[in-house]
Amino acid sequence: MKVEQKGHTTTIRNTQGSTAEFYQKLNHEYNSFKSQNLIVDLSHDKALTMDDVKLFTDLIKIHNKAKKSLVLVTNSVNFNAVPKSITLVPTILEAHDIIEMDEIERDLGF
């Protein structure tokens, strides 16, 4: 797991093989990241499945309740099959853009 912090956003990269193992480690260390917007980069795992993406559903709900954004990054799944509760984008740049838009909406009271 590789962690980079930039402003109010932390990018966490899965440098391990299994997304399930990565999720367990991220969930275990979540308290150290809960005050930041998170970008979870899963693009390293080319065998990523929709079930792997859905692992993050509960963590996303918890993070959103705390008025923070959690965006997943991968281009290995069908974007049309992703549940609406999960924000999934194909690039890190788009993840930063989504977080910026979320921050603006929160500042405006939406």
**Sorting pLDDT into bands at 50, 70 and 90, what band is 47?**
confident
Please name each of the domains of the chain with its CATH number. 2-108 (3.30.750.24)
**Sorting pLDDT into bands at 50, 70 and 90, what band is 109?**
confident
Predicted pLDDT of residue 18: 86
pTM (2 decimals)? Answer: 0.93
What SS3 string covers the chain? Answer: CEEEEECCEEEEECCCCCHHHHHHHHHHCHHHCCCCEEEEECCCCCCCCHHHHHCCHHHHHHHHHCCCCEEEECCCCCHHHCCCCCCEECCHHHHHHHHHHHHHHHHHCC
User: Is the pLDDT at 8 greater than 90, yes or no?
Assistant: no
User: Is the pLDDT at 74 greater than 90, yes or no?
Assistant: yes
Mean pLDDT of the chain: 93
